[in-house]
Amino acid sequence: MQLNKQGYESLRWAVALLALTILLDGCGSGQGQQAKPPVPEVATVTIEPQQVELTTELPGRTSPYLVAEIRPQVNGIIKKRLFREGSDVKAGQLLYQIDPAPFQVALDSAKASLGKAQANLPSIRLKTERYKELLVDKAVSKQDYDDAAAAMEQAKAEIEYWKAAVEAARINLGYTRVTAPISGRIGKSSVTDGALVTAYQAASLATIQQLDPIYVDVSQSSAELLRLKRNLEAGRLSADGQNGRKVCILLEDGNLCPQAGTLQFRDVTVDQATGSFTLRIVVPNPKHLLLPGMFVRASVQEGIAPQAILVPQQGVSRTPKGEPVALVVDEAGKVQQRMLKLNRALGDQWLVSSGLSAGDHVIVEGMLNVRPGATVKAVAWEGPKAGAAAAIPKRPAAEAK
């Protein structure tokens, strides 16, 4: 069949119109069948109050339990040094020997004078007794008897004097043996054999330090002490009488000291310059791991929080003003925003002071996909269990029993 030019143009427009109609019908059908967006899914944790031991880490320095500076108590020449520098010494151990010869001579001289005085006493006593008998018959004058009695008392006093001189000479002779007053580790010696020393000189011969146990002195601000007392009085914290005095010590390299210390006392005076006071801790140190002057950190227990609310740190965000907030899923599946007040970080969680309560479902994953007021599908978070934070470093096994 032959089509003229006009008929051909009409057919082409009809085909184009049919194709456009089909295309428009297909687009309309697709828009009508488009599915609604799915409800976003979020992971939540359920807040469960629990008992938590609260601690605070305080900086401190170690100091020896006992310190003794060795000084001579008599003048003389050092004949021999009888210890090895840096070694452990026992109380009473001989450290230095001062030349005893002049002190031995002084002791012998005092003993001789004492013997001379004691030898004169019997003669004077007999003379006094005879004068006393003759005085009754008036064979001697009263003055003669008084002189004889005075001579006897003088002889007795002279004996006591020389007894004291003998004892002093014996003590000085003993001081030529310079011994250790305490057990501990002795440092370097400031003198050698042949050195001249004087009694009670300013410079010590050596220093002994007892390192087992050892002191750890830490500082705590008075403001922290006041806050702790208020929390205890308000019932937010309770004291742990059994373990409250146990203290964990963190070394300079961050490792935990194998021996836990015991809080001995809190100082009663606040330093006016720093506003802090000192806590003294006694730490067993059998292997001398701690040395005097080392910097350490002490984990001191503040108390027990019986109903602590902990939330994973990833479930807390900040507003542009820096205020902490959390997103909570209510019973209707709606997202709510809660303003929080945080106390401190415990491990990977926050201790919450206010803003959350028991049973709240806090979003910890998927927060970026939801906004307050949105409907969400909440599923249980499969991460670490909520509240499983270590309030303090793990105590040594020997102390944890």
pLDDT band at residue 93, thresholds of 50, 70 and 90?
very high
The residue that leads in pLDDT, 156 or 224, is 156
Give every strand in the sheet of 177-179, ordered side by side: 177-179, 94-98, 76-81, 196-197
Which CATH number is 46-62+211-400 given? Answer: 2.40.30.170
Task: Specify whether the backbone of 370 is left (phi greater than 0), alpha (psi in -120 to 50) or beta.
Answer: beta
Q: 72-99+176-203 and 101-174 share one CATH topology? A: no
Which CATH number is 101-174 given? Answer: 1.10.287.470
How far is residue 56's CA from residue 392's CA, in Å, rounded to a whole number?
8
Q: 304-314 b/e with 16+ CB inside 10 Å = b? A: bbeebbbbbee
Q: Which two tokens stand for residue 348?
A: 């990977």
At 392 the pLDDT is: 39
Nearest-CA neighbor of 209 among 66, 93, 96, 61?
66
Nearest-CA neighbor of 253 among 286, 220, 219, 295?
295
Could you tell me the residue ranges of all domains in the chain?
A: 46-62+211-400, 72-99+176-203, 101-174
Q: Which two tokens stand for residue 355?
A: 């803003």
pLDDT (mean) for 114-142:
88
- pLDDT (tens digit per residue) in 323-369: 999 999 988 888 999 999 888 888 888 888 888 888 889 989 888 88
The verdict on domain 72-99+176-203 having CATH code 2.40.50.100 is yes
- pLDDT (tens digit per residue) in 221-263: 877 777 767 766 666 566 665 555 788 888 888 888 888 888 8
- pLDDT (tens digit per residue) in 290-315: 999 999 998 887 777 888 889 998 88
How far is residue 218's CA from residue 299's CA, in Å, rounded to a whole number?
10
Q: 126-151 b/e with 16+ CB inside 10 Å = b? A: ebbeebeeebeeeebeeeebeebbeb
Show the 3-state SS of 308-351: EEEEEHHHCEECCCCCEEEEEECCCCEEEEEECEEEEEECCEEE
Q: Which residues contact 379 (CB under 8 A, 6 or more apart)?
A: 41, 42, 43, 44
